[in-house]
Amino acid sequence: MRFVGLAVLLISTTAGAGDIGHAPAGPAWQDDPVLRDLVREAVEKRPEVGQVRAQIAAERERMPQSHVLPDPSLSLGIQNDGFSGIQIGKMESSWLYIVAAQTFPWPGKRGMRGAVVGMDAQSAEADLRRTLLTVAADVERAYLDLLLVRDQLGLLGKLESLWQQSEVVALSRYQSGEGAQSDVLRVQLERSRLKQRRWALESEERRKVAVLNRVRGRALGEEIPTHRSLADLPDPVFPDGEQAVTESLGESPELRKTQLAGQQADRRVDLAKKERWPDLTISAGVMPRWGEFGTMWQAGVAFNVPVWSLGKQAHVIAENQARGQAARGGVATVREILALRVRERIESLRALIAANRLYRSGLLAQSESTVASTLVQYQVGRVSFAAVLEALSGYLSDVNGFLDSVAAAQRIAIAQREISLDSPAGAGGGSSGSGSMPGAGSASAASSSGRGAGQPTGNESAGSAMSRM
């Protein structure tokens, strides 16, 4: 009866965990209200967002400046015959004068200067677009990490419950002479290891919460409740390759900035050519003489002679032609890299989705069946108790690998929404940092089922499998 009770316990535990592999029926990733609130708060409170917005405002204030005429000049003076006294009104050639002058740039110069300055504002707007995309992606990644560590804690809780019950059974069998003392000691050892892993995961959970609170401008220790599991997330869906590349090229802030740099260089070339033409200064004045002499007036037009600036403007033109050529090379580079990254993400996502479908449609069910089969073998005394625990550790390892694979798929989707130029992470579906393939625990369990009763399997146990999460 003890065996039957243990079988019921194990089957109920694995059946509850097995639900994690069913087809997801929950809302899409970005429909999560907790995530939406986190992103909104981060966008509102991140100082880098305010910094770029202020930069845009500053650039826009420069635009009216580029269209303003130079200040007019006003000249006041006196012309006098001799030094013996003021001769105004006495001598015909003595007078006061008031002359006003206004310089007008050559037609088209002000418009070109405004166009050059306006592109600085557009470039700052591209910076804002990049900042908003990055902030949102950082929040999504941090939230994804928080869900992952909480799901891992949930798996650890199931394993702890199993070890607690297993210790009772192993102790009972040992006391009745049917089991070995090593089984009891092993259970106690693994329970101690699980405590260590729980402390590490709880510490990691607090760190993830602190990261999210920092980006949204809250107290670092403030609680962030979550109401979903990674297993609830449907796999991301990308458009076809060409469409995804086209959309990314149309929305990339880096590409926009590089294009603007080339356009601005071209405008500077046009402006430098226009600067060769002189500015015109129109002046007018009056010269009152009083007395019997009438008031005189004057009017004139002056312009600068570009004797020295011709050589300077030639260098300005050459400089900006080179800058334009460099910017056009940058545009081609960004296009190539972005197209490559999109296709890399599509291929990585395709592999992850295939792995997730395998997890949901067969692998997890097969792993669970292995547990049930091993339980039956244990009940009739054909395998050791260690084999049962190995089979269960393999199942839990597969569930953990499934969670990692779901998280990896979501990270790729986040990078696509971010229009990232970074290379996508590896598409491995195993546990984070484990370096082992998903299902390795199951293979170990299957091989251990052929061992004789009472032969320990070393550290390849449920506790050590969870320690690799």
Taking a C-beta distance cutoff of 8 angstroms, is the pair 436, 459 a contact? no
Q: What is the pLDDT of residue 468?
A: 45
Q: What is the pLDDT of residue 460?
A: 40
Q: What is the pLDDT of residue 443?
A: 33
pLDDT over threshold 50, residue 313: yes
Domain 2-63+122-256+327-467 -> CATH class: mainly alpha
Cα–Cα separations (whole angstroms), residue 426 to 230, 257, 406, 466, 467: 19, 29, 13, 22, 21
Q: Is 160 helix (H, G, I), strand (E, B) or coil?
A: helix
Q: What is the pLDDT of residue 233?
A: 85
Q: Which residues contact 154 (CB under 8 A, 6 or more apart)?
A: 229
pLDDT over threshold 80, residue 134: yes
Highest mean pLDDT among 251-265, 373-387, 392-406: 251-265
Among 19-28, 44-53, 296-305, 367-376, name the one with the lowest average pLDDT. 19-28
Q: Is 97 helix (H, G, I), strand (E, B) or coil?
A: strand
Q: What is the pLDDT of residue 425?
A: 58
* Average pLDDT of the residues of the chain: 80
Read off the pLDDT band of 92 (50, 70, 90).
confident
Q: What is the pLDDT of residue 197?
A: 87
Q: What is the pLDDT of residue 252?
A: 93
CB-neighbour burial class of residue 177 (10 A; exposed 0-12, middle 13-18, buried 19+): exposed
pLDDT digits over 320-333, tens only? 889 899 999 999 99
pLDDT over threshold 90, residue 336: yes
CA atoms of 124 and 66, how far apart (whole Å): 18
Q: Which residues contact 102 (CB under 8 A, 6 or more apart)?
A: 69, 70, 72, 73, 281, 282, 283
Q: What is the pLDDT of residue 365?
A: 84
Cα–Cα separations (whole angstroms), residue 128 to 42, 89, 251, 297: 14, 68, 13, 56
pLDDT over threshold 60, residue 364: yes
Q: Is 130 helix (H, G, I), strand (E, B) or coil?
A: helix
Among 16-25, 162-171, 334-343, 439-448, name the one with the lowest average pLDDT. 439-448
Q: What is the pLDDT of residue 31?
A: 80
Taking a C-beta distance cutoff of 8 angstroms, is the pair 359, 402 a contact? yes
